[in-house]
Structure 1
Amino acid sequence: MSVLRIELRRSAAAGTALLASVVGVAALYIAPGRWSAGWMDLALSVKEYMILLWPIALAAGAWQGRREHRAKVGELFATTPRSRARRMLPVLVAMSASVGLAFLLVVGAGGMRIASTAAYFPPDVVAILLVGALSLIAAAWLGLGIGRLLPAPVTAPMLAVAGVLLVFFTAIMRPDWMGAILSPAYGSSPFYPFQTIDPRVTAVLAIFMGGLALTGVLLLVARGPRAFAAAALPVLLGLGAATAIVPRDEAALVAPVDPVARELVCTDDAPKVCVTRVNANVLDALTPLARQGLAVLAKMPDSPTQAHEDRRAYLVEDEPVRDADVVTIVVRIDDHGGLAHPDAVVPEMVFGLGAGYGDPECERDAAVERASAYHLLGREPVSDVGVIPGMIEEDPQLNAEAVTLWQGLQKLPAPEALSRVTAVRDAILTCQDTTGLLSR
């Protein structure tokens, strides 16, 4: 233990922990909105930032691995009765402890922020984070081995650059299953709040990283050319085993869905408002807004009576079959885990006139639909820029045409105006052209 304490104090371990912690926490807090929705989003974000943490661990290991060469004591230590493996054990433990602690600090820094708002803790998060820690340990141990094998001053910085490129390009390589095996950042880009990582993908990464770690250890303790050559065996065996069991189906590889996170949590009273389990913490804030939107839509006959969060898995699922009794809502989470853009909830519900997504192949007139929606809202149409989150520009002519149509509706008797708006909604539902329905 005294030797280990010396290693922790005098080696690169402490500096590695500090650097990796600072970089990881800074990367998280540059964009807290990416992971404020819950634990899985946090796990995916930390996994994504492996593009920074993994090269740091790799380079730190390489810097530490050349210590004996730098101090010119290799031949001296070789004459001692202790085996090289025993002498290197404190180094391995110190480096793994440093990167493990850094990883824990990064996860903890994000976890403290969302602990009070995250409504759902997926069990897969634990496995994803444990394998993330294993990946950093593997990088540090591999770096130790390479640093001992190539003890040049440029080895560590070159490995840092190579590590960034390796993590990035293997994460996007094709076929997808190869990226799942090789990259500690694979599958980390979140596309919807109920996304997860398939347990089989997590398992194959653990197998490959375990083999990589053992190869690093063997490079660090090897004596002679044959031992150095044999060091490649663990990573090759790990790659072979991972290749044999990695899933090949797209549903497991490309943004898979956590069905429990996507389950609906609903209000007890009517009109019913439902959100996914992962966003259950915003149900109370969303309910009055959603009911206001339903009340606006209720001006038309046969309008929806329930509001549900949009649960589409954009990359792996087709558009769901429309439920005439349900209007969907896009739920957004702000940087603090609460409901983002509450002012957009009612307009977004009304803009579709309760008709759902509609068939993209159908002829639709955006100006007609905007004028109809704003007639129900009782105010003059305005540009979607500033109303719909993420909308940054649109053709000014579109809103000018919508205002003209809206003004025409205002001149009509209320029943006639509502009848025309309803006709627009019905045309959307039956895939008919909506052009001219407000001006006939």
Structure 2
Amino acid sequence: MTESEAPGRGGAPATYPEAPFSSGAPAPVPTPSYGETPARRATPNPLRAELRHGIAPWTGLAVALTVLIPLWSKAPQWQGSWGATQTQLHAASALLAGPLVAAAACWQGGREHRRRTAELLLSTPRSRLAQVMAATTPIALWAAAGYLVALAVAFAATAPYTGAGSPPISLAATDLGFLLSICFVGFVVGRLARWRLTAPVLAACAFVVLGFPDYVDSAARFLSPAQVVALDVSVPVRWFAPFLLAWTGGIAATVLLGYAARRRYLAVVPLALAVAAGTMIMRTGADLFQDNPAMARRVCSEVAPGTPQICVNAHDAPVLPQMSKALAGMFSRLEGVPGAPVTYVDPWYSPKNGEATLAYVTRGWGITRNRLTDPHQYRSETASALVNRDCSTDTRGKDRKETERVERTDDAVISWLSGKDSTRFPNSPQLVRLEAMPDADRKAWLGRFLATRKSCTPSEVPVL
């Protein structure tokens, strides 16, 4: 009797299960039964992997820092003006971030050559265009993200201090489109050139090519995406942004299709589009930018009896109360003087009868975050603008003694109005005599003096 036939309880033969497989035999592969679907392993997404690893994330961080660090060092110059903010963003993104993105994409393009895996790409079922797009898109997306972060930070820093207008989004779109375009061009250069130093050399060449047109007095300079524009005093025409996008994007598409497309003759289409857009930009030239309406719109202080009115452009409207406060002492000394100006206007405007010009101040020097950096200096320069005769040495006459007398008289009036000692003629006797005059006599003399403040004949200026 065998062991398997040994009787169990009640006399029934006992059965024992056999081992599923012997100790030395390989395990059998389970076969799915009818109706079951075998489990599939998830296919890794190459785009997602490139977005998380490699040089792409570092490119986005580098673009943000490359744009923000120069902007932050010049923050007093652009905070408070949407146009000035976008001007600084435009220059930093085109001249600094553009070559950086080109170098990063070029380094990405030469990756297969450095790893000696370029031959493996020929065995993949994907087309060359699909391979290029999969490898370049992460760099482009991260570069765009870095620029948008810098744009948001700069606009957030400007918003609390701005006086008029709105963010010029159209030029921001052209800067973003340029970064995407130069990314694809840089990648193709990296694929074609196998030299390891191609990326830094390409960045240096891009910087020179982008910055050189600013020194050329030709309409062709407007084709450069880094063309310097003063957006605080001018604005581009509405069609400028789409045409500039067509110009830069058309060149990038031509390079990309010419390198990677199966039918390379399709590159003629974006090339024709780029040529048409570039021709239109060159023909228009300087007329691409018009005067900023915010500069033409005047904002004036409230009318008060005995106090002159101050009018500035809409950009500087938040600084108007500080200007009025800084000039209050000067206005009080001119109160009751015959012929004293009743309105002081921004230097951007031509003064009319009864108007005088305010001191010229710019953000970053005279104005910082909507505050006058030196109110006393502002009052002194406004008094100087009031007295300035703007005469050449020939029109003042040949009598040097009389000319010097007029200069000392003008300086004494400026010092008295500003309440600040003169650095040109210290201890001036003219200033002493002006301060010692009775109030009524001083007002009468100042009236005669202001009547000749535009005269270039020394004999017409009253003696002090």
Partner residue of 1:174 out of 217, 233, 257: 217
- Contact kept, 8 Å, 2:338 with 2:444, in 1: the verdict is no
The residue that corresponds to 1:403 in the other structure is 428
1:117 aligns with 2:138: no
Per the alignment, do residues 251 and 311 of structure 1 end up closer, same or farther by CA in structure 2, a change over 3 Å counting? Answer: farther
1:138 aligns with 2:181: yes
Deviation at 1:360, TM superposition (A): 5.0
1:427 aligns with 2:452: yes
Partner residue of 2:279 out of 243, 248, 253: 243
Per the alignment, do residues 338 and 247 of structure 1 end up closer, same or farther by CA in structure 2, a change over 3 Å counting? Answer: farther
- Aligned residue identity for 1:372: V
The residue that corresponds to 1:215 in the other structure is 254
Deviation at 1:237, TM superposition (A): 4.4
Structure 1 residues 94-141: Cα deviation after superposition (integer angstroms, max 9, x where no partner): 122111111112212222222211122336x10011111111111111
Per the alignment, do residues 297 and 135 of structure 1 end up closer, same or farther by CA in structure 2, a change over 3 Å counting? Answer: farther
The residue that corresponds to 1:345 in the other structure is 378
- Contact kept, 8 Å, 1:368 with 1:405, in 2: the verdict is yes
Q: 1:340, 1:42 → 2: CA distance?
A: 20
The residue that corresponds to 1:150 in the other structure is 193
Q: 1:109, 1:194 → 2: CA distance?
A: 23
TM-score, length-scaled by structure 2: 0.77
- Contact kept, 8 Å, 1:16 with 1:60, in 2: the verdict is yes
Structure 1 residues 21-78: Cα deviation after superposition (integer angstroms, max 9, x where no partner): 1121111111112211321111000111121111111111111111122222222121
- Contact kept, 8 Å, 1:146 with 1:219, in 2: the verdict is no
1:141 is paired with a residue whose SS is helix
The residue that corresponds to 1:257 in the other structure is 291
- Aligned residue identity for 2:186: G
TM-score, length-scaled by structure 1: 0.81
- Contact kept, 8 Å, 2:452 with 2:460, in 1: the verdict is no
1:184 aligns with 2:225: yes
The residue that corresponds to 1:387 in the other structure is none
- Contact kept, 8 Å, 1:207 with 1:241, in 2: the verdict is yes
Per the alignment, do residues 173 and 278 of structure 1 end up closer, same or farther by CA in structure 2, a change over 3 Å counting? Answer: same
Structure 1 residues 184-227: Cα deviation after superposition (integer angstroms, max 9, x where no partner): 2213356xx4333444544442221111221342255256xx94
2:161 is paired with a residue whose SS is coil
Deviation at 1:88, TM superposition (A): 2.2
- Contact kept, 8 Å, 2:258 with 2:267, in 1: the verdict is yes
Deviation at 1:336, TM superposition (A): 2.9
- Contact kept, 8 Å, 1:69 with 1:151, in 2: the verdict is yes
Per the alignment, do residues 249 and 25 of structure 1 end up closer, same or farther by CA in structure 2, a change over 3 Å counting? Answer: closer
1:324 aligns with 2:367: no
Partner residue of 2:118 out of 74, 84, 89: 74
Per the alignment, do residues 156 and 407 of structure 1 end up closer, same or farther by CA in structure 2, a change over 3 Å counting? Answer: same
The residue that corresponds to 1:306 in the other structure is 343
The residue that corresponds to 1:375 in the other structure is 416
- Contact kept, 8 Å, 1:329 with 1:345, in 2: the verdict is yes
The residue that corresponds to 1:60 in the other structure is 104
Percent identity of equivalent pairs: 21
The residue that corresponds to 1:283 in the other structure is 320
Deviation at 1:13, TM superposition (A): 1.4
Greater gyration radius: 2
- Aligned residue identity for 1:406: L
- Contact kept, 8 Å, 2:80 with 2:159, in 1: the verdict is no
RMSD: 3.0
1:15 aligns with 2:15: no
Deviation at 1:408, TM superposition (A): 4.1
The residue that corresponds to 1:388 in the other structure is none
Give 1:97-112 correspondences, 5 Å limit.
97-112=141-156
1:352 is paired with a residue whose SS is helix
Unaligned runs of 5+ in 1: 313-319, 384-397
- Contact kept, 8 Å, 1:7 with 1:91, in 2: the verdict is yes
